[in-house]
């Protein structure tokens, strides 16, 4: 048996301090940011503090990598979990730190047995990393879709507020002057409604595959996200209904 053995970390000490840190952080998250995320962090901290086994490092490392990845993609996609701004360098930096620390903790777990590492441990690390990727990739794609469709819904709102070509104002002027027929304008309204419905459907379908959706929905701060989305879509539909009523009554038609 040649060569020096790798330095083994003091598992009980590592788990003790990780447990204390995660309990404190979990309590802060629970009371100030997100109840469910705070509970998860607290449970991981308590488990680490009570059992003090090497598998705690694997669990903590994978969790930090997952959380860091979520934090980074949240900022890249323009959403937020931890702060009120749509983009925050603080949150982006926090995500990078979480990712790096998570990798370091997984490395410590790998070194626990010294130079010889069991096959089961290698398989567990590969499995954890694969699980994190399986969770992160669909989340990233889903959040990108949600963000894209949210922007489209905002653009559809311009139909009622702008005076550009194709807007409600422009079409109404065309009706008043006789340039446009009620049938043509109603077709335009139907096409817009179809796009609104499609965007709403895509957002709700994509949300099923995003971890961020469940964090957002279950958290105190962002619980109103879907309520606000429904309200925005209902507002667009109400505008369409009002426009149709005006067309039907003939008040916008050329006298």
Res. 223: pLDDT tops 80: no
- Phi and psi torsions of 2, nearest 5°: -95, 165
pLDDT tens, 89-141? 777 888 899 999 999 998 888 877 665 566 778 888 889 899 999 989 999 89
Q: What is the pLDDT confidence band of residue 11, given thresholds at 50, 70 and 90? A: confident
Residue 216: its pLDDT value, please? 67
Query: pLDDT-derived band of residue 161, with 50, 70 and 90 as boundaries?
Result: very high
pLDDT tier at 220, thresholds 50, 70, 90: very low
Higher pLDDT, 221 or 117: 117
pLDDT value at residue 41: 92
Nearest C-alpha neighbor of 92 from the set 115, 111, 69, 114: 69
Q: For 53-86, write each residue's pLDDT tens digit.
A: 888 999 999 999 999 998 888 777 654 444 444 5
Contacts of 230 (CB under 8 A, 6+ apart): none
Mean pLDDT score of the chain, rounded to an integer?
83
| pLDDT tens digit sequence for 232-252 | 899 999 999 999 999 988 887
For the residues 178-199, what does the mean pLDDT come to?
94
Q: How far apart are CA 217 and CA 215, in angstroms?
A: 6
C-beta neighbour count of 28 within 10 angstroms: 12
pLDDT band at 156 (very low <50, low <70, confident <90, very high): very high
Instruction: Report pLDDT digits (tens) over 23-36.
Output: 999 999 888 777 77
Q: How high is the pLDDT of residue 120?
A: 79
pLDDT > 50? residue 4 = no
For residues 68 and 97, the answer to whether their CB atoms sit within 8 Å is yes
pLDDT of residue 242: 94
Query: Can you tell me the distance from the alpha carbon of 76 to that of 126, in angstroms, rounded to the nearest whole number?
Result: 26
Residues contacting residue 41 through CB under 8 Å, at least 6 positions apart: 22, 25, 26, 29, 30
């Amino acid at each position: 048996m040649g060569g020096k053995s790798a330095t083994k970390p003091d598992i009980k000490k590592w788990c003790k301090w990780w447990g204390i840190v995660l309990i404190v952080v979990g309590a802060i998250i629970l009371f100030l940011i997100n109840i469910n995320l705070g509970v998860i962090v607290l449970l991981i901290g308590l488990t680490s503090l009570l059992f003090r086994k090497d598998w705690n490092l694997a669990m903590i490392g994978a969790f930090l990598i997952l959380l860091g990845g979520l934090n980074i993609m949240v900022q890249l996609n323009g959403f937020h979990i931890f702060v009120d701004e749509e983009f925050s360098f603080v949150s982006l930096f926090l995500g990078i730190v979480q990712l790096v620390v998570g990798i370091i903790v997984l490395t410590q777990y790998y070194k626990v047995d010294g130079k010889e590492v069991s096959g089961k441990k290698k398989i567990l690390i590969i499995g954890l990393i694969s699980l994190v990727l399986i969770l992160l990739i669909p989340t990233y794609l889903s959040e990108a879709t949600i963000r894209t469709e949210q922007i489209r819904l905002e653009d559809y709102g311009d139909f009622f507020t702008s005076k550009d070509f194709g807007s409600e104002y422009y079409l109404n002027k065309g009706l008043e002057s006789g340039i446009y027929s009620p049938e043509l304008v109603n077709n335009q309204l139907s096409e817009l409604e179809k796009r609104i419905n499609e965007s709403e459907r895509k957002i709700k379908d994509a949300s099923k595959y995003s971890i961020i959706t469940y964090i957002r929905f279950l958290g105190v701060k962002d619980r109103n996200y879907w309520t606000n989305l429904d309200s925005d879509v209902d507002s667009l539909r109400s505008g369409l209904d009002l426009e149709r009523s005006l067309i039907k009554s003939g008040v916008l038609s050329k006298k």
